[in-house]
Homo-oligomer: A and B are copies of this chain.
């Protein structure tokens, strides 16, 4: 049969502007350098491909997370590491993704709301406070932090590259990349 290693899903959750995508982009070359095929499934990009029909209300976010999980599952079971960078604010959605995918590493990017609002990479917090958009996580839609993530990463006191290195060390320690 085939000789590829079993893949697994790295699922990065956190508030908007927490640093999920930035850290993911630092993870990609580091994992590839170790010989892994890696696919970054960034929430915004995957929306264009899979969920152009969906909005940001709770039901839409849940359905979107299910579609992302579907893609992550077929990648992981073929030896790829899908890195999901998705707010995924609801515990139930992340639990479903975990059940669907099986080999699942939840990475909580712990940046608190005040720092995220100050960063406001895409200007979404400002627009939400101005009433221009609704269902904004952290403003008028809840973010339910993970209670027992495999990895919790600080994205304030270290650079994105350092956060990625921390995650890699944790993956090694937990036996995922052995």
Identify the A interface with B (CB < 8 A). 1-4, 32-33, 35-39, 41, 46, 49-50, 53, 63, 66-67, 70-71, 74-75, 77-80
Contacts and interface: CB of A to CB of B under 8 A. Distances in A.
Contacts of A70: 46, 49-50, 71
A79 B78 CA distance: 9
Nearest to A82: B74
Main secondary structure of the interface of A (DSSP, over half): mixed
Contact of A79 (B37, B49, B67): B37
Given A1-B32, A49-B67, A78-B78, 14 more contacts: A1-B33, A1-B35, A2-B36, A3-B35, A37-B78, A38-B78, A49-B70, A50-B50, A70-B71, A71-B74, A75-B78, A75-B80, A78-B80, A79-B79
